[in-house]
A and B are shown apart, each in its own frame.
Chain A
Amino acid sequence: MSAVEVRGLKKTFRLRRNKKELLMPWRPRRTTEALVGVDLKVERGELVALIGPNGAGKTTLLDVLATLVLPTSGTAYVEGYDVAHDAVEVRRRIGYVLTEERSFFWRLTVRDNLMFFAALQGLFGATARERIESVAESIGLVDQLAREFSALSAGQKQRVAIARGLLPDPPVLLFDEATRSLDPGRAERVRRVVRRLVDRDGKAVVFATHDLDEARDLSDRIVCMAKGSIACAGRFEDVEAEAMALFVEEAQSEDAELHALLSS
């Protein structure tokens, strides 16, 4: 059994009606396909980098795995549990590291924040405190536990987000652009922490990023996404050209849009 197994996953979102469409409510709503038949397998002790330009479907795929979004069709299993029908069991087995700094309580200390999220994961009292100390120790947060969350730097906040994901000691970790907005030094420290979780603790990690260098340095395997489907997959060396082409294509498309805008 794979840690993560996705087969033929599709997700179609209905778009909001514009003003003209509001006058014709009997017409079906327009849709956009965020995921188009995605297949993916991630084993324990493996780190898969999910790369692709903005809007490729990386976050939607992570949201489906984290049970925040229900797939339209296809299946997704985490440690053998179906994300659509066994959401609670899936949540017990994942740690979703969100990049949003806002997803914490800024007036509380780091420890109070982690105690609260530990309680949501079924860890209370002394057990929770021990777990928080242990996780904080492993990612260099011990000195920050008593500080108010609002007083932390961006890198420290990011490490608190990782600590939160690690609290229940899940076998599967999902990272959504975990190093975004970090300076190169701090981003490198975060990458080392993530890599160690795979090598030392045998976690299965899906790490979404649009930084090709990061994907190369960090991952065992990369999966490139474009327009909701898998464009290439394999070792970085084998798919580097295809991956690069995706970003070049995006850049050219943006250049064309910008040129048209400036011309008009």
Chain B
Amino acid sequence: MRLLRLLWAFVVRDAKIAFSYRLQFFFQSASVLSLSITFFFLSLMMKGVEGGIVALDRYGGGYFGFVLVGIAFSTYLDAALRTFSASVRQAQITGTLEAMLTTSSPIGAMVFGSALYTLLFTTARVGLFLFLGVFMFGLRLHGEAWLGAVTVVALTVTATFALGIFAAGFIVLFKQGDPVSAAVNGLSWLLSGVLYPKEILPDWVQDVADLLPMTHTLEAVRLAILTGAPLADLMGAVTYLGGFSAVGIPVSLAWFSWAVKRARVAGSLASY
């Protein structure tokens, strides 16, 4: 109970700070609309050729639904990778980290709490993407497959949090130059099928793509909400993401704890 209240305190803090920058908050929300419109017109341009793209058949055949889901759900990865390291870095620079670390709350809860608002805001943005897709651009979603989609998204969050916590460990140790975010984010955009089906990539590149959590997320979420695939058909992604989380979360927490201990020895915990 105490942990939940503590996490809620982080959400309240970050929401109040975010709302105090009203213009930025507006533009972050408005970008969903501009991106949706951009890809809607891009999909219109592709109307003539999308029937010939065999790889799209698995996902219902239309490019707009494919790319909207890709853009919307890839934001979880982007948010998780950025939010942990960015919140630690910002707290180092502003000096709030030092103040927070002298309190009795566990550091793991502080790191997780710092990411919660971004997670909730990202979820709201994903919802807005889908809402606009359905009510503005006539996209048809299969609501009956919600269980599979929610399961995959939940596991995506834990898997990407593992990566985010790992990236934050680098920030604790080296302050800048976290290699995890850049590598995973860049590779995911390139290989995971955000904008185009991964099936059009060479076979050996697809094998590399299959190592990335986002590849499994996008494939499974598209199958669920664009074609109505039941949870049983998504078990490959569920197994991979679940396994990634089960291994990744303890490893990343151990790495982060080790990084904090090293920083306490070096006396650099709160320096920037």
Contacts and interface: CB of A to CB of B under 8 A. Distances in A.
A68 B14 CA distance: 25
A208 to B, nearest CB: 15
A197 interface: no
Interface string B13-27: 100110011000000
B18 to A, nearest CB: 9
Interface in A89-143: 91-92, 94, 96, 98, 100, 102-105, 107-108, 112, 115-117, 119-122, 124-125
A98 B125 CA distance: 38
Given A91-B103, A120-B9, A120-B110, A68 B16 contact: no
B77 to A, nearest CB: 27
Interface of B, secondary structure class, is helix
A124 B8 CA distance: 10
A256 interface: no
A91 B104 contact: yes
A96 to B, nearest CB: 4
Contacts of A124: 2, 5, 9
A100 B16 contact: no
Interface string A57-80: 000100100111110000000000
A17 interface: no
A158 to B, nearest CB: 14
Interface stretch (B79-87, B91-99, B157-165, B231-239): B91-99
Nearest to B21: A107
Contacts of A115: 9, 12
Considering residues A63, A67, A116, which has the most beta carbons from chain B within 10 angstroms of its beta carbon?
A116
A7 interface: no
B110 A107 contact: no
* B: interface residue count bin: 20 to 34
Given A60-B267, A103-B96, A103-B98, A168 B9 contact: no
B5 A103 contact: no
A100 B100 CA distance: 13
B140 interface: no
Given A103-B94, A103-B95, A121 B104 contact: yes
A14 interface: yes
B102 A96 contact: yes
B95 A105 contact: no
Interface in A209-247: none
A76 to B, nearest CB: 13
Nearest to A94: B102
Contacts of B155: none
Contacts of B94: 102-103, 105
A105 B267 contact: no
Contacts of A203: none
Interface string B246-272: 000000000000000100111101100
A92 B106 CA distance: 11
Contact of B13 (A66, A102, A112, A125): A112
Contacts of B16: 107-108, 112
Interface of B: 2, 5-6, 9-10, 12-13, 16-17, 20-21, 94-96, 98-106, 110, 261, 264-267, 269-270
Given A68-B269, A108-B16, 6 more contacts: A67-B101, A108-B17, A116-B13, A117-B100, A122-B2, A122-B6
15 contacts: A11-B267, A66-B102, A68-B270, A69-B267, A96-B102, A103-B94, A105-B13, A116-B9, A116-B13, A119-B6, A120-B9, A120-B100, A122-B2, A122-B105, A124-B5
